Amino acid sequence: MGAGGRSPRDGLGPLASAQPKVPHRGTRNEVPAGGTSATSERDETTPVASPGNSVLLVDDMDDALEMMTYILESAGFRVAAATCVTEALGKLGVESFDALVTDYNLPDGTGSDLIDGATQAGLLDRAHTAVLICTASRYVAPLSSVKVLYKPLSPVDLVEAVEHSIGRVMTDEAPSPGA
């Protein structure tokens, strides 16, 4: 339970009840203040990512960032989180990721600004990094090779979209047979 006796998942609507039932693990495995980490068994319907898949997740809404981090970490992804374009660019400057999942509307720009800025600065290699925009906004400026996911999004749909996008990038860079 968080401050005021509320769980960090209160008020998250259907997403809170649909979350995968797996141990919380990865780079953000700290126990919430006054709470305990999740320890129940994995829900059979939630896909599990291959080990080593890293995701940079960018969203300025704390509840959404926490929930998507939990979902992706529960599926086996290693997640780094950022709340704005500037913070995400800083993380991209020191680490490469298998996927970038960003909200569209951010306090200091858009997901498109982040993708374009990181690509132009040489921080994001679009040939080796899957890029997804996850947004509640119905208008997103089109970008080549960027999958757009619309909120609300089920945990299974989020995990499958990230896995599929990472798999597509890895397949595109694999040498063809006989080459």
Q: Which domain holds residue 78?
A: 23-29+47-172
Does residue 150 lie within any of the structural domains?
yes
In angstroms, the CA 143 to CA 85 distance is 17
Task: Output the domain CATH number for residue 89.
Answer: 3.40.50.2300
Does residue 35 lie within any of the structural domains?
no
Does residue 39 lie within any of the structural domains?
no
* pLDDT for position 66: 97
The domain total for the chain is 1
Does residue 89 lie within any of the structural domains?
yes
Does residue 162 lie within any of the structural domains?
yes
pLDDT in tens, the chain (179 residues): 444 443 334 444 444 444 444 333 333 333 333 333 333 333 444 444 444 489 999 999 999 999 999 999 999 999 999 999 999 999 999 999 999 999 999 999 999 999 999 999 999 998 899 999 999 888 887 778 899 999 888 999 999 999 999 987 655 444 444 44
Whole-structure pTM over 0.85, yes or no? no
Does residue 37 lie within any of the structural domains?
no
